[in-house]
Amino acid sequence: MSNAPLLKLSGMEQVFETKKGPVPAVGGVDLEVKPGKVLCLVGESGCGKTTTARAAAGLTKPTAGTVEFRGKNLAEMTAAERGQYRRAVQYIHQDPYAALNPTRTVFSTLSAGLKKHGIVKNRTEARAKAAELLQLVDLTPPESYLDSYPHQLSGGQRQRVNVARSLALNPDLLICDESTSMLDVSIRVSLLNTLGRLRDELDVGFLFITHDLAVAKYFAWDGEIAVMYLGKVVEHGPTPEVIGNPQHPYTKALIGAVCEPDPDLAKANRSAEQLRSAEIPSLRDLPAGCAFHPRCPAFEPGLCDAAEPPLQATPSRRKLSCHVVHRDLQRATPDATLTFDAVPGSRRPETESAL
């Protein structure tokens, strides 16, 4: 398979018209997903992650910019091309309880798409294919699940059925919108491991949306992360770089805010730097200049509130939109890389003497 992107969003904007005025949910993003690769979108609620995913899945029409699948613009596809696109791109929703039809058995849910697209000819074939799908997502033996209704399954099992359904049509791209956030810790890891196997063995590309940085790090380690804030990408690069050495003050704050299961580390970080405000500004009334400046600990009056920072490449293998970081990079190139405190809250009390 070529290295051409499966999915390409260029300058994608989505403005919702409401009674109280326009809401720019996504303000121009450029993103790509390659086959067998993961692009992870992270950010807080209202940052435009889901809106981006819905446009990528063709569920909404962007108000500006384009969505291309295998080089074809979604808006200009013929009916046949669109049919193919629909087969090739599947969506896994957040809530495993709401995403399954409660009146259909697992078999009926899994076979609906197979029948619709003419992949199976009769019931026997459909059952065999459905059983195969269940096996793929570790619901074994499949016979004990095929005739179950969703209410007979636990949340983790339901989410596996959702994954199996999305795989029924051999997709090239899976769009996962917070697909693991409602699951318990132990189940979440096993589902992510299953998805990882699909990515590696079937070369499925992923647009993976999560608010949980740990999940992003775990699943997208070989891929990329794009951090979104108020409808824009603020930092975008390879996962180990962005998570291990965040540069944008917003990414730093997000990573510093994660609670790790380590009481000593937690105690040591209680005095960590605080944001200037805990509240997210409204999309209807975005702050002037950098949208993060009212909350940013590195805020500099006159610089940050004057103009919007562009998303520019930096020497540290990523794109970044921050006036302060870019200026400091220009001023002092040699030591602008990494210090131990680059990740706030990584310092444990015992290790201080060791350094």
Partner 1 sequence: MSDPILSVRDLSIAYRTGRKESVTAVSGIDLDLYEGQSLALVGESGCGKTTLGLGLLRLLPNLGEITSGSLTYRLKDGSRADLLQMKKEPLRRFRWNEAAMVFQGAMNAFNPVIRIFDHFADTLRDHADGKKWTKAAVEARAGELLETVRLDPDRVLQSYPHELSGGMKQRALIALAIALDPQVLVLDEPTTALDLLTQRSIVQQLHELRKKFGFTMVFITHDLGLAAELADRVATMYAGRIIETGSARDIFYDPKHPYTAGLINAVMPVKGDRPALESIPGYPPSLKAMPDGCAFNPRCAFATDACKQDRVPLSLLTERPSGMDHSVACLHHDQVRLARSATDQLASFVEGESANV
Please give the residue ranges that form the binding site for partner 1 (CB under 8 A). Answer: 44-45, 154-157, 184-190, 193, 211, 213-215, 217-218, 221, 240, 243-245, 253-266, 270, 274-275, 278-280, 337-340, 343, 345-346, 348, 350-351, 354-355
Min dist. Cβ of residue 167 to partner 1 (A): 20
Min dist. Cβ of residue 283 to partner 1 (A): 13
Min dist. Cβ of residue 174 to partner 1 (A): 20
**Contact present, 320 and 247 (Cβ < 8 Å):** yes
Cβ proximity to partner 1, 171 vs 223, nearer residue: 223
Cβ proximity to partner 1, 146 vs 253, nearer residue: 253
Cβ proximity to partner 1, 74 vs 134, nearer residue: 134
Give the number of other Cβ atoms within 10 Å of residue 58's Cβ: 17
Cβ proximity to partner 1, 55 vs 254, nearer residue: 254
Q: Who's near 22: CB < 8 A, 6+ residues apart?
A: 15, 16, 284
Cβ proximity to partner 1, 7 vs 329, nearer residue: 329
Q: How far apart are CA 355 and CA 348, in angstroms?
A: 11
- Beta partners for 68? 8, 73
Cβ proximity to partner 1, 202 vs 265, nearer residue: 265
Min dist. Cβ of residue 307 to partner 1 (A): 25
Half-sphere exposure of 120 (CA within 13 A, CB side): 18
Angle at 315 between CA 309 and CA 320, to 5 degrees: 25
Cβ proximity to partner 1, 124 vs 339, nearer residue: 339
Min dist. Cβ of residue 42 to partner 1 (A): 9
Min dist. Cβ of residue 109 to partner 1 (A): 20
Cβ proximity to partner 1, 79 vs 355, nearer residue: 355
Tell which residue, 142, 10, 130, 23, has the closest CA to residue 69. Answer: 10
Angle at 89 between CA 87 and CA 90, to 5 degrees: 95
Cβ proximity to partner 1, 125 vs 201, nearer residue: 201
Cβ proximity to partner 1, 18 vs 122, nearer residue: 18
Q: How far apart are CA 309 and CA 234, in angstroms?
A: 9
Min dist. Cβ of residue 261 to partner 1 (A): 4
Min dist. Cβ of residue 348 to partner 1 (A): 6
Min dist. Cβ of residue 87 to partner 1 (A): 31
How is residue 42 written in tokens?
């992270």
Q: How far apart are CA 159 and CA 147, in angstroms?
A: 16
Q: Could you tell me whether strands 312-314 and 89-92 are parallel, antiparallel, or unpaired per DSSP bridges?
A: unpaired
Backbone angles phi, psi at 306, to 5 degrees: -90, -55
Task: Give the DSSP per-residue string, 324-335.
Answer: HHHHHHHH--TT
**Contact present, 172 and 6 (Cβ < 8 Å):** yes
Min dist. Cβ of residue 112 to partner 1 (A): 26
**Contact present, 212 and 181 (Cβ < 8 Å):** yes
Q: How far apart are CA 104 and CA 89, in angstroms?
A: 23
Q: How far is CA 79 from CA 85, 86, 355, in A?
A: 10, 10, 63
How is residue 39 written in tokens?
């692009």
